[in-house]
Chains A and B, each alone.
Chain A
């Protein structure tokens, strides 16, 4: 048994190129995603069609363009060009001020501005229109100072756990989870399929090792690799992305190991059901990647999904681990708050290990 594990270790660590890929890849990915991914709106290109061109419309325009949300996109001369400019995809929103805007505002106390958004991206369109509206409203309040309500209820807003509303706090736990899950599952899924494809599986099966030992021997070296990956990613999230660690470091690491073991066993299970590396890869990567990204609550909140998908997301292991990471890192909670999620992941690990061992026995008969 010891000899077998040592052999597997040699096998893996001898391959320098694979090692470089396995350790380098997560680092680069965390860096890229951590800095690049954000759901905030910044620098959205807008076109301004100003039929009035007076001091009020200019002040509003300046306010919009200096907010950081918008930049001036392509110029537009008249309404007929709207379709064309949207089709080129150069502009997200067109702001149309009516003629005599300032005069109407002053005399009639009513002036019109129209926002036309490219809603082929509904989320961006919605946010941009809301931001524009908010900026125009705040200009209006400055313009008509002293229009305060005779009775005023002030709302104090408190943002818990992430007062700066940084989207990186939302994404980093997700990125950690996705990387650990996919890399771990892919590593083991291909390892046994490889033995089958190369014909060395027969040798393993006739050896005096029992299925449990074979599975353990395959998994243990990868636990180490994945754990190093987990540590690297966690360190990067503290030092580079300034994620807080409110809770217990040891608990976080133990949970990570549990999650890694679950992902590795899932990989082993995939490996036992596929007969080629290609098949194993297609299953572990193709079947896992998109559901893991989309149904785990990584980017899209689960509670907004249709009910059936919410049910489906329950069988996505990353869903539970993301909750655990956020609870420990951002909320500073202990095991008494995440025992349920921990049990679910442990249960999944046991389930996959049991299934893999059963599959092995069938092959031996």
Chain B
């Protein structure tokens, strides 16, 4: 026990002595949380529209004014030719072009059937689908009003009534959803990177020799390396949760003790992986790249930004070994839905097993001889 205490003392001193690292460890995560939580939204709030009106009649102008009514459409202007419209899309000056053909008004009056064209920049496929839906909806609306005007008094209510209810986040607020996830990321990155570069640093500078010849047992060494980062990461989590609560007003419906309980096991997994990477590599550069590789793969697959359900099944299988996926899921469940231990028990025990394995690997790979 005393040995571990001395190692801890040494590690803590080393961390707190480094005046330039401290702000990096503590300030960057919080600043990122504050700024980046606002960046994440799939809502389409601003569609720039260009109109090619070949008809130029009261009817066509009425349709255009329909597009100007919703707050998310901005009319960027009119063009005089098809080429000019396409040029606007090419330059990125607009997202959508509305093309009203010559004879639009006449066809409505005579043939009761006409068409308009909506061209959408579809590089972002999912946004394009939504924008196209908006455009179609407006035209359809215009169409129904027209029918009511011409025929008078016809009721177009839909026979099947669909009601929606959104649970746990009725305003569909994105920060509510993202903040717990970003918090997990920040804690993970801090823990994994600091621990992965730690042992290998001693190797690179040569101080590992001194530890190797001292009467320290392998597990004592690993515990001594791990605990300081564990405390730092737990502190960051507590700090981050406070910021989330105060600034973003994120609900914490579930038990806060449960969050820290899961976090304490989760951090063992992350730090274990970090230390394991550290024992596998010979330079800090290698350690950094390996840690980065795993971190980025874990982050992108975790369901933080894109839904896990829409990934192919091999990717979902891969998430069985993705600690970030477990923790993000659990954090969101506890904070936003008030899930209890019995709801997350499966994930908790998976993390626990994972912690045992990664720590075992780290202790096993750490060799006292170089």
Contacts and interface: CB of A to CB of B under 8 A. Distances in A.
Interface in B82-134: 86, 89-92, 108, 112-129, 132-133
A161 B122 contact: yes
Q: How large is the interface on A (under 10, 10 to 19, 20 to 34, 35 or more residues)?
A: 35 or more
Contacts of B1: none
Interface in A123-163: 123-126, 129-130, 132-133, 136-137, 139-140, 143-144, 149-163
A136 B162 contact: yes
Contact of A330 (B118, B123, B177, B293): B123
B115 A122 contact: no
B169 A33 contact: no
A305 B36 CA distance: 10
Nearest to B31: A287
Interface string A100-131: 00000100011111111111111111100110
A306 interface: yes
A153 B108 contact: yes
A242 interface: no
A281 B172 CA distance: 36
Given A120-B168, A182-B292, A278-B197, A151 B162 contact: no
Interface in A269-290: 274-279, 281-283, 285-287, 289-290
Interface in B139-154: 139-140, 142-144, 146-147, 150-151
A41 B311 CA distance: 9
Given A38-B311, A149-B143, A155-B135, A111 B160 contact: yes
Interface stretch (A226-234, A251-259, A291-299, A355-363): A291-299
A300 interface: yes
Nearest to A190: B285
B212 interface: no
A365 interface: no
B220 interface: no
Interface in A37-80: 37-45
A122 B285 contact: no
B201 to A, nearest CB: 7
B143 A160 contact: no
Contacts of B300: 32-33, 36-37
A331 B132 CA distance: 19
23 contacts: A15-B283, A17-B282, A36-B315, A40-B125, A43-B309, A44-B307, A44-B309, A44-B310, A87-B338, A116-B165, A118-B337, A153-B113, A156-B116, A157-B120, A165-B128, A278-B201, A281-B197, A282-B193, A290-B182, A295-B36, A303-B46, A309-B35, A323-B92
